[in-house]
Amino acid sequence: MKRIFSYAVALLSLFIFSCNKSSQKDCEKNNTGSILFHNQLTGFDSVYVYLGSTQLGLIRTGGELSVGNLAVGRKLYTFKYRTFNLLEDSITVSQCNESHYYLDHLPVSDRRLKKNITPVKNVLADIEALNIYSYEYNAPKSYTGYLPGGIHFGFMAQELKDVYPEFVQLNTNGYYSVNYMEMIPILAQGIKEQQEEINDLKKEIAELRSMVKSQQAVAMK
């Protein structure tokens, strides 16, 4: 019985090895790779993944979707919630390798993954040039993206790109989108610079008050 079990294990191991070897040859021959999509978004029960007009699959919140036999190269993938476009992104597939793509509200910000790090300063003038609006979305019938209802607050992309073009993107559908997440550090720096100006003014006022008191004391002698 033990001998039969040993033979079975050996045959299974050989089968797995053969499959892996065959799969490796297939991806080398066809120049393909795979992507493992991770859905870490909240507020959406499921997200559909498209490559062009081809639906690759559905990822539920907290779930994963593995898609294989994808042609090597950089291609544009669309992520939809029901019939609405959530976002589009270009993902590069490498030969015989599995790429990982994370759908997440939180961008990666680890210092170990960054280079050319430069402090940002003197942003107040640029911030003062920005106009802030309240608005409601009003999409034409030809627009297929997802637009939430209600009143919103933000910038006009066409105005913002004159000051901070890095935060504005022209999408494949011909409309602009704004990366509000990356604007947060700029606004935080503006608050810091404004606070520095306030502290300088407080210091000057304190010095002026001290001078006035000194002059009053001399005048009363």
149 vs 8, which has greater pLDDT? 149
Consecutive H or E run containing 19: helix 2-30
Does the structure show a pLDDT above 70 at 190?
yes
Summarised one tens digit per residue, pLDDT across range 174-187 is: 888 888 888 999 99
In the numeric block, the tokens 């993107």 are attached to: 169
- Smallest CA-to-CA distance from 87 within 177, 25, 161, 3 is with 177
Q: Is the pLDDT of residue 165 over 80?
A: yes
Count of CB atoms situated within 10 Å of the CB of 69: 11
- The residue with greater pLDDT, 194 or 90, is 194
Q: What is the tens place of the pLDDT at every residue in 65-117?
A: 999 999 999 999 999 988 788 888 889 999 999 999 988 876 677 788 889 99
